[in-house]
Structure 1
Amino acid sequence: MKSAGVIVEYNPFHNGHLYHLQQTKEVTRADVVVAVMSGYFLQRGEPALLSKWARTKMALSSGVDIVVELPYAFSTQKAELFANGAISILEAMNVDEVCFGSESGNISSFLATLSAMEENKAAFDVLVQKYSREGNSYPKAASLAYRALNIPDATVDLSRPNNILGYHYVKAIADQKARIKPITITRTGANYHDEHFQSPSIASATSIRKALFSNEGTLQDILNYVPEATYTSLFDYKKVMGQLHDWEQYFSLLKYKVLTTDLNVLASLYEIEEGLEHRIVSSIKEATSYHEFMENLKTKRYTWTRLQRACTHILTHTKKDVMKRVTADHKSSYIRLLGMSQNGRAYLQKYKKELPLPLLTKLTSQSNEMQQLDIRAATTYGMVLPEPIRSEWMKTEYSTPPIQYDEESKSFL
């Protein structure tokens, strides 16, 4: 069975994701599509709009065959570690090709960029340090360094968000000596950071979330931009849980954590560097909302995304030494199965004995350090839910089995 992999967040699954999925199947002619999907907290340091289980249902209903979780240790990281974690899982699952969307849409340009960056690594690192000392964030410093090298036009524009991720997917494959073949398709209809609807049917996840959380926003506003399964999942989740998730709901928890934690302990948490704990404490004291706090906190050096990730690690109390240990080899230590179609089940039955990593259907109290981070993330994510839902939520990581989807009846078993 030929397989293709996609690396996703589905926050939420929208028409652009559906296009990517359809193109992946068409270009690769794969029998099975495996999605590595972030769990409760995402690469930009945000809580997912709705649970990983609800997003798994969206994916399966829309044509994904297997959904596995990208562990918290990688899902809340800068592009390099995010990509390495995801590629390590796809490689372990014997996936043949990985297909990602990019602004470039040309895989040859990514390979040329990788080659050029390897040839100019020393000069690139010196320039990054130079631009960082001038007060630029790392992404900005890296972009400036890349431009300063005057690398030939055949390479990728690494100032574009999906190109950056795509480059790191290709680099991770090379670094891990993985057998996966990278493929890219051109993103269509909406840019990654678009905050408003720009076309009649394709919208960014950012603009969809913004519409949902606007003062007068309703689910009806996004009908044209998401498949029916997404609309149904959002409606059902909000009805049962009473809400969708965004940072504002976690602000009081964050404020409590920051103001009741010793400064030395704050400094020991992941991504809290260079005395950032002092700025966080002073910025949060007077802030009355998460948005106000972030506006006070961000600087030229620290991007909104970088600071959001730091805040996420404060919420989950993720320490530097723990994160350093679990990501030391840039690879996941397990595969957490979230859901599968009947087609996906056949694939797993064929290959599961060959998998080099344990395939987990549930976590236990005996879980390793990487898995414990997932459990803590799940607990933190559920803390904004009302009782008695919240108490039931605490059991989900231990009790929820993989979701099974029947393609013929289009229903969950």
Structure 2
Amino acid sequence: MKATGIVVEYNPFHNGHLHHLQQTRIKTNSDIIIAVMSGNFLQRGEPALVDKWTRSKMAVAAGVDLVIELPYAFATAQASDFAKGAIFLLDALKCHSFCFGSEEGSLEAFQETYNLLLTKKDEYNTAIASYMKKGISYPKALNEAYNEISEATTVRLVDLSKPNNILGYHYIQAANHLNSDIKPETIQRVVANYHDDALKTETIASATGIRKLLFEGQKLSEVNAFMPSTSLLGLTEWESNNKSFGSWEQFYPALRLLIIRSSREELGQIAEVTEGMENAIWKAAKTHTNFQSFMQQIKSKRFTWTRIQRMLTHIYTDFTWNQLREIDFPTYIRPLAMNKNGQAYLQSIKKDLQLPLVSRVAASKKDTQLQLDIKAADLYYLGLQSSYGESMVGSDFRIAPIIE
């Protein structure tokens, strides 16, 4: 069987994701689609709208054959490490190719961009350092340096100011660094961009737009046009059980407690907390009772909103610099959900896997990366502040991979 990999968060699974999934199967002529999916905390440093089990069931119901969890350390990392962890797992799963959505839509442009940055690596890094000395954020410094070195070329390059283009570039970079034979493909995003609001006249909206509507108090019936019926069913069941969706506003009371009870020195030991941000975070937590005002106080030109949220995610999960430095690549393959085809594919490659296949976490509980996943999952459920969330603590030990 021929397998293609995709890297997803599905927060939540919507019609744009369905388009990507369907076009991936057509473009790659694959028998199996494997999704590497973030767990309960995401790359932009925020809690997932609904948990990984609900999102993985949505994925399989919509046509994904096999969902694998991207470990916490990679799921909450900057783009390069997020991509490295995901592509490493897809390669380990014997995928023939991987296919990502992008604003660009042209694989050739991504390849030209990768070649340019490879040949001008020293010049690029020097320019990045120069821009960062001016006090701007790392992502903006990357973009400014990229614009500078790309001025002299006439080939078609990727716009690396676009979020999905950035991830796509890093997927290709990761595959090259791994010396993998896995073949990249891309599909252009349609209608809605990553940060766009949801428009009532459209049937495709960004996950960001859908979440915004829900957090503004819109009912699920008012966003059902943007997602398959199976996703609406999953969100309805979640809301019925839990009464609310995951967000930083909901998690903030627990986060604030953890910040205030810590010393500034302890906060400085947390992964990604750097350049005195522990002081700003601690001071803001002392005075702000809601997440938005807290973030408004500590945001700056130096640090993007996303990077600050990743710091806060690591504070919430107590993930330290020392732990981060010990992690290089994923150390296991953990299935979350699959259909019969995905199950058959996994059985067919099981003996050839170079990584342990973890179906029962109790059998692999000594793995430090897996322990991070388990702890992050439990803390996510506690952050929901509901009886349902409390009952889900320890669920990683109780729930086996879902077979639909």
**TM-score grouping bracket, smaller chain normalisation:** over 0.9
In 1, Cα distance between equivalents of 2:201 and 2:36 = 28
The CA deviation at 1:367 is: 2.8
Which runs of no fewer than 5 residues in structure 2 stay unpaired?
none
2:17 match: secondary structure: helix
In 2, Cα distance between equivalents of 1:307 and 1:387 = 26
- Distance 1:287-1:51 versus aligned 2 partners, 3 A rule: same
Q: Is the 8 A contact 1:83 1:165 kept in 2?
A: yes
Which runs of no fewer than 5 residues in structure 1 stay unpaired?
406-413
The CA deviation at 1:25 is: 0.4
Opposite residue 185 of structure 1, the aligned amino acid is I
The CA deviation at 1:282 is: 1.4
In 2, Cα distance between equivalents of 1:52 and 1:256 = 25
In 2, Cα distance between equivalents of 1:206 and 1:123 = 35
Q: What corresponds to 1:384 in structure 2?
A: 383
Q: What corresponds to 1:334 in structure 2?
A: 332
Opposite residue 29 of structure 1, the aligned amino acid is N
Give the 5 Å matches for 1:119-158.
119-149=119-149, 150=151, 151-158=153-160
Q: What corresponds to 1:346 in structure 2?
A: 344
| Cα deviation code 1:40-71 (max 9, x no counterpart) | 00000010000100001100000000000000
In 2, Cα distance between equivalents of 1:199 and 1:368 = 48
Q: What corresponds to 1:32 in structure 2?
A: 32
In 1, Cα distance between equivalents of 2:386 and 2:144 = 49
After alignment, is 143-152 or 363-372 more displaced? 363-372
| Cα deviation code 1:226-264 (max 9, x no counterpart) | 000110000001101222111101101111111110111
The CA deviation at 1:286 is: 1.5
In 1, Cα distance between equivalents of 2:171 and 2:325 = 21
Give the 5 Å matches for 1:237-276.
237-276=238-277
The CA deviation at 1:386 is: 4.8
In 1, Cα distance between equivalents of 2:255 and 2:340 = 41
CA RMSD of aligned residues (A): 1.2
Q: Is the 8 A contact 1:128 1:142 kept in 2?
A: yes
Opposite residue 208 of structure 1, the aligned amino acid is I
The CA deviation at 1:198 is: 7.0
Q: What corresponds to 1:185 in structure 2?
A: 187
2:159 match: secondary structure: coil
In 1, Cα distance between equivalents of 2:386 and 2:11 = 25
The CA deviation at 1:316 is: 0.2
Runs of 4+ in 1 over 4 A off after TM superposition: none
Opposite residue 279 of structure 2, the aligned amino acid is H
In 2, Cα distance between equivalents of 1:148 and 1:217 = 44
Q: Is the 8 A contact 1:189 1:199 kept in 2?
A: no
Q: Is the 8 A contact 2:332 2:357 kept in 1?
A: yes
Opposite residue 162 of structure 1, the aligned amino acid is N
Q: Is the 8 A contact 1:190 1:198 kept in 2?
A: no
Q: What corresponds to 1:399 in structure 2?
A: 398
What is the aligned length? 401
Q: Is the 8 A contact 1:190 1:199 kept in 2?
A: no
Alignment match of 2:210 (pick from 189, 208, 211)? 208
After alignment, is 147-156 or 242-251 more displaced? 147-156
The CA deviation at 1:392 is: 2.6
Q: What corresponds to 1:373 in structure 2?
A: 372
Q: What corresponds to 2:104 in structure 1?
A: 104
- Distance 1:15-1:218 versus aligned 2 partners, 3 A rule: same
After alignment, is 74-83 or 380-389 more displaced? 380-389
2:383 match: secondary structure: coil
| Cα deviation code 1:203-243 (max 9, x no counterpart) | 000000000010x4110111110000110000001101222
In 2, Cα distance between equivalents of 1:175 and 1:372 = 27
Give the 5 Å matches for 1:51-200.
51-149=51-149, 150=151, 151-197=153-199, 199-200=201-202
Opposite residue 393 of structure 1, the aligned amino acid is M
Q: What corresponds to 2:231 in structure 1?
A: 230
Opposite residue 124 of structure 1, the aligned amino acid is Y
1:116 match: secondary structure: helix
In 1, Cα distance between equivalents of 2:313 and 2:338 = 29
The CA deviation at 1:387 is: 5.8
In 2, Cα distance between equivalents of 1:132 and 1:169 = 24
The CA deviation at 1:136 is: 0.9
After alignment, is 123-132 or 237-246 more displaced? 237-246
The CA deviation at 1:288 is: 2.0
Opposite residue 179 of structure 1, the aligned amino acid is D
In 1, Cα distance between equivalents of 2:275 and 2:15 = 41
